């Protein structure tokens, strides 16, 4: 494998190394599940029901106090994916962008901000 990669680099002199960092928003960057954080905004936009908000809040409380198995987390993720299937990406982006200051900034983990800043410094 090493010889193959060495040969690849020699045969493609314009090959550029690209680095990327990906951060999971849910409990990694913000101290809440995104569906809970943006629940009110999604409700106001007619995307979710009041019942969905209440179920999300209940799930958040249970998770915070009892945790969740990988199986439970998978079921929750699949449920949210099914709920959001078909949503207009532009509409969601507008809701999130409009809410960044009031919804996201107050619940961002300081450690996540520091890690993102470190990645930016390394990229410069």
Set 26, 88, 98, 124: catalytic member: 26
Q: Does any domain span residue 45?
A: yes
List, as own/partner pairs, every contact residues 71-76 make where C-beta atoms lie below 8 angstroms and the sequence separation is at least 24, other chains included.
Answer: none
Active site residue 24: yes
Whether 77 is covered by a domain: the verdict is: yes
Catalytic residue among 24, 44, 98, 124: 24
Q: Does residue 10 sit within a domain?
A: no
pLDDT-derived band at 3 (thresholds 50, 70, 90) equals: very low
What are the pLDDT digits (tens) for 21-78?
A: 777 777 678 888 787 888 899 999 999 999 988 888 887 777 777 777 788 778 877 8
Number of domains forming the structure of the chain:
1
**Residue 96 lies inside a defined structural domain of this protein:** yes
Q: Greater confidence, 30 or 17?
A: 30
Q: What is the DSSP string of 10-77?
A: HH-TT----------TBTTTBSS-HHHHTHHHHHHTTSS-HHHHHHHHHHHHHHHHH---HHHHHHHH
- Assigned domain for 2 exists: no
Structural domain boundaries enclosing 34:
25-123
Please give the structure tokens belonging to residue 110: 């300081």
102 domain residue, yes or no:
yes
Tell me what the pLDDT averaged over the chain comes to: 80
pLDDT over 50 at 6, yes or no: no
26 catalytic per annotation: yes
**Structural domain includes residue 11:** no
Burial grade of 4 (CB within 10 A; 0-12, 13-18, 19 or more): exposed
Does residue 9 belong to any structural domain of this protein? no
């Amino acid at each position: 494998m090493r010889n193959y990669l060495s040969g690849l680099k020699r045969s493609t002199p314009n090959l550029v190394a690209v680095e990327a960092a990906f951060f999971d928003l849910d409990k990694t960057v913000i101290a809440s599940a995104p569906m809970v954080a943006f629940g009110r905004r999604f409700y106001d936009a007619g995307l979710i029901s009041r019942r969905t908000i209440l179920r999300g809040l209940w799930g958040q409380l249970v998770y915070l106090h009892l945790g969740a198995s990988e199986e439970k987390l998978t079921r929750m993720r699949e449920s949210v994916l099914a709920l959001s299937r078909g949503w207009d990406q532009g509409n969601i982006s507008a809701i999130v962008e409009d809410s960044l200051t009031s919804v996201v900034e107050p619940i961002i983990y300081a450690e996540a901000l520091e890690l993102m800043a470190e990645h930016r410094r390394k990229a410069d």
